[in-house]
A and B are shown apart, each in its own frame.
Chain A
């Protein structure tokens, strides 16, 4: 793929141009004063069921879905399918928990999870920890989106060598940054509608056309090495994939809606009924994700990794090149260009929302709290706009300096960190029994332990083999860290009050969590 594929590139460029125009026009959609943070950053909290469905879909189903999951399935087999149980069980959890967060945020004007924690636990320090965690955990997730864009650009032969290699990616990101700055959350919400349309067309074409070419699903599964087709059975002293698989699914499911961009998506909806309805409708995307995961096996069956035409792509991008190579080998050039546009736009939308969410966090919980308490609403929204640019370039640095075999590891690393905010945010929605300093200490322990485990795995994996007695239990590092986090927070919540540490006062009222009367 050293020669640019002109037809694919023209189609790709046309769609990319279309969404760029939409991104700028979005500033006028459901017009509001974009100098106010909750207009720029939450689009005025006016999104109904349909727009929220598109926005959350655009937000949560990302390059993770289109590139990282099939790449993992392609390379590692059944274990990569954990993304399916993950995106199924997350919704019942959200259904029960998140309407409470929406209610209290709506009544008290919160924009971020840290806003809530600050008032609930009367602790600016804990809120700072939550805000920093959100920003840090978002970076590798944005970086994952960049990998998606990089891979499809590479598939079309775009990009030179050395410094030029990343230039097209940087250009795509400057465009994204410009319209996010201009239009705020309205831009990704509007683009999400286009994104979904072209993604559904691509996926439906892929699951009809490619299996027909390969001789049906039975043939596709037959091409998968037997030991990868289902999970490896546990050994006498090692649970192996039997604990790794569900722990990845469970940990990821709990983590998903703690990400700042998920909370932004939830809080921009117009009511708790919108959230509850959407949790029953979002699995339509999970179904799509499961189908896309199958593309990993189709790439195996098509033998794209053995095709010399794609050798260079696999050398540069590893298993992440599986889906682009499959599209190139199965589709005519114009449709390959269309499908690459789907992947790239599918990465731009969440990247925009993630950078907006991180910007909201910085502005509300760090800038206004610690640096300029007296800042005006206009200054607040200007700072958020600027920070959305900085966050994106931080993610760009992540990708240029830290290449990964499996892009999915970037998302799992983000999950290790963000899950450590669960005790403060989720348990905090129900009870103040956990002490603020206990929560802070638990958070510190969880962050340290999770990062240490990731470091032990050289940041190449996130399944840490825990040794319990004579038994090895491999599990998602995020969960191990959360258990330590909860143990510390719980123990200190018993001890600290007896030593005379005050719990602080709760600014929220019991009614704040309930539906509007």
Chain B
């Protein structure tokens, strides 16, 4: 729990909860419409989260980078 001393790190980590919420609550995306480039919503929504989640992780990494030294 030593990260508690550095509150900012723990605060940044909360961003990483978003992919869990976005992907584990099925009613958010279990639909066909609107389709995108032939992909039903169910598929392109989850495809989009791959990039979003990677982006969020990168943001948190750069924001808390000093932790690694």
Contact = CB atoms under 8 A, between A and B. Distances in A.
Interface in B6-39: 13, 16-17, 19-20, 23-27, 30-32, 35, 37-39
Contact of B47 (A84, A221, A431): A84
A221 B38 contact: yes
Given A85-B23, A283-B50, A95 B42 contact: no
Given A88-B23, A91-B57, A290-B50, 20 more contacts: A81-B43, A88-B19, A88-B46, A89-B20, A92-B16, A92-B20, A92-B56, A95-B57, A95-B61, A99-B68, A220-B38, A229-B42, A230-B42, A242-B27, A245-B26, A250-B24, A283-B51, A286-B50, A515-B67, A515-B68
A96 B65 CA distance: 13
Contact-residue size bin, chain B (C-beta under 8 Å from the other chain)? 35 or more
A510 B31 CA distance: 48
Contacts of B32: 229-230
Nearest to B31: A230
Contact of A218 (B13, B38, B68): B38
Sorting the interface of chain A by its residue count into under 10, 10 to 19, 20 to 34 or 35 or more gives 35 or more
A444 interface: no
A217 B38 contact: yes
Given A92-B57, A221-B39, A273 B19 contact: no
A227 to B, nearest CB: 12
Interface of A: 78, 81, 84-85, 88-89, 91-92, 95-96, 99, 216-221, 229-231, 233, 241-242, 245-246, 249-250, 271-273, 276-277, 279-281, 283-284, 286-287, 290, 294, 430-431, 510, 513-515
Contacts of A99: 68
Chain A, interface SS category:
helix
B68 to A, nearest CB: 4
27 contacts: A78-B42, A84-B46, A88-B23, A89-B19, A89-B53, A92-B16, A95-B60, A96-B16, A216-B38, A218-B35, A219-B38, A221-B35, A221-B39, A229-B42, A242-B27, A246-B23, A249-B23, A250-B24, A273-B65, A276-B61, A280-B57, A280-B58, A283-B50, A286-B50, A290-B47, A290-B50, A430-B1
- Interface secondary structure of B, over-half rule: helix
Nearest to B18: A92
A250 B17 CA distance: 13
A99 B67 CA distance: 11
Nearest to A99: B68
A92 B46 contact: no
Contact of B53 (A88, A241, A273, A290): A88
A86 to B, nearest CB: 9
Nearest to A510: B2
Nearest to B58: A280
Given A221-B38, A231-B30, A246 B25 contact: yes
Contacts of B49: 85, 88
Contacts, number: 113
Nearest to B66: A515
Contact of A85 (B24, B39, B51): B24
B13 A271 contact: no
B57 A279 contact: yes
Contacts of A514: 2
Contacts of B13: 96
Contacts of A277: 61
Contacts of A221: 35, 38-40, 43
Contacts of B61: 95, 276-277, 279-280
Contacts of B47: 84, 287, 290
A358 B30 CA distance: 39
A276 B67 CA distance: 11
Contacts of A216: 38
A95 B50 contact: no
A448 B30 CA distance: 34
B60 to A, nearest CB: 7
Contacts of A219: 38
A84 B44 CA distance: 11
B53 A283 contact: yes
Contacts of A430: 1
B29 to A, nearest CB: 9
Contacts of B25: 246
Contacts of B51: 283, 287
B2 A271 contact: no
Nearest to A222: B38
B39 to A, nearest CB: 6
B62 to A, nearest CB: 9
B69 A515 contact: yes
Contacts of B27: 242
A89 to B, nearest CB: 5
A496 to B, nearest CB: 23
